[in-house]
Structure 1
Amino acid sequence: MIPVSPSESTRRRYVRNIVKTYRQATEDQVVRGKAWYRTAHQLADMMSGGDVRAGAGVIAALSANKAWDMNRRLAQDAFAGRLHGHVGDALTKAAKIMAGADPAEVLPMDIKTGNFYRCILDPEDPEAVCIDRHAHDVALGTPKGNADRGLSSKGRYAALSLAYRNAAAILGVLPSQVQAVTWVVWTESLAGVKRRPTLERYSHNV
């Protein structure tokens, strides 16, 4: 696992790795990455019947350890009256949000789930960064497979979020866009993807 409080030199290395990966993106990858959260926002709006806050909250609540296509299907099923397919805590959070609770009061806002909600709710959010396992590996500069990244640690999550915000300042784009573009580059490189993936194939696994 990366340090909870990395040294300044280590922080700079994370930023360099993120910027390097972003700059490896093709024009098409940049376009798709920058559009990811705008498209997710539209999906949240549609599946919730116009309550995008609830839609984003339910998607986020049901996101942990789920590939995007499954995450999306579970959220759509939930709004159709069939809440299933996840652990009890996630289902309880989704139920509370659909019952009218503020997602910001239900979700853990200092780590991945809360930040995923924020990015979907407002794709122009200048601070939110969804740090999943791939975002972690981009910053580290090496894939870690199925290893535990320790991203439930608020300190570790905050250190990586800061690295993405610093990279975003260098690149002149939003932190969430840096994360999404580098996610596309990183996962497609790992998978050797040659065809253009759609939003339905993207994943935000922890």
Structure 2
Amino acid sequence: MIPINVSPETREQFVRNIITAWHSATSEQQQCGRTWYRTAHELAAMMTDGNPRAGAGVIAALSANKSWPENLRLARQACETGLKSGHFTDALHKAAQIMAGADPADVLPMERKTGQFFRLIANPDDPDAVVIDRHAHDIAVGETYGNRDRGLSSAGRYALLGHCFREAALRLDELPSTVQAVTWVAHTERIAGTGTRSSRRAA
């Protein structure tokens, strides 16, 4: 597990690792990453009859430890008929609150992965939000951790990696979310078949 308080040199190495991953992406991976959150936004709107903010909240609430296809299946079910099982009780409760009219920003942990995921699906042009999942961690650190604990429940560690992606994005003149999504696609396609879970999702 990386320390929360790293040296400026280590922080700079994390930024360089992200930039290297960005440049390793093929043109197809670039295109997939660049359109990922916009496609998710459209899906969120479709499953809620034109309310992408609510749809984004439900998707984000049900995203933890789920592949993208499974995440979407659960979100669609929650929007259409309600959801009583298939996820942690807390996630089900948050999805139900959002479907009942609660603002996702009042329900989700906005400075953590699910909150940032919601922000980007609701607004793919968000200039600051960035999703830090296990793959984003590994991209920045420059090492695939597999099943080892990355400590991303720590607000400080999440903030550190988020800062590194924002700095890399600044140097690349891109949105942080675009850098995260493109590098995510390139990284997960590279490690596919190595025993770590991978599916076509950017978070």
Superposition RMSD on alpha carbons, in Å? 1.5
Aligned length: 199
TM-score when normalising by structure 1: 0.93
3-state SS of paired residue (1:187):
helix
Deviations 1:131-162 (A, max 9, x none): 00000000000100011111111110000000
**1:69, distance to aligned residue in structure 2 (A):** 0.6
**1:80, distance to aligned residue in structure 2 (A):** 1.0
Q: What does 1:26-37 align with in structure 2 at a 5 Å threshold?
A: 26-37=26-37
- Contact 1:129-1:164 at 8 Å conserved across structures: yes
Q: Distance in 2 between matches of 1:113 and 1:148?
A: 18
- Contact 1:66-1:203 at 8 Å conserved across structures: no
**1:14, distance to aligned residue in structure 2 (A):** 0.6
**1:82, distance to aligned residue in structure 2 (A):** 3.3
Q: Distance in 1 between matches of 2:54 and 2:165?
A: 27
Q: Distance in 2 between matches of 1:6 and 1:173?
A: 25
- Contact 1:18-1:182 at 8 Å conserved across structures: yes
Deviations 1:83-110 (A, max 9, x none): 1310100000000000010101100011
Report runs of 4+ in structure 1 exceeding 2 Å deviation.
Answer: none
3-state SS of paired residue (2:148):
coil
Q: What does 1:55-204 align with in structure 2 at a 5 Å threshold?
A: 55-83=55-83, 84-191=85-192, 201-203=199-201
Q: Which amino acid aligns with 2:45?
A: D
**1:203, distance to aligned residue in structure 2 (A):** 3.5
Q: Distance in 2 between matches of 1:113 and 1:3?
A: 22
Runs of 5+ unmatched residues, structure 1: none
What is the identity percentage for the equivalent residue pairs of Structure 1 and Structure 2? 59
**1:192, distance to aligned residue in structure 2 (A):** 6.0
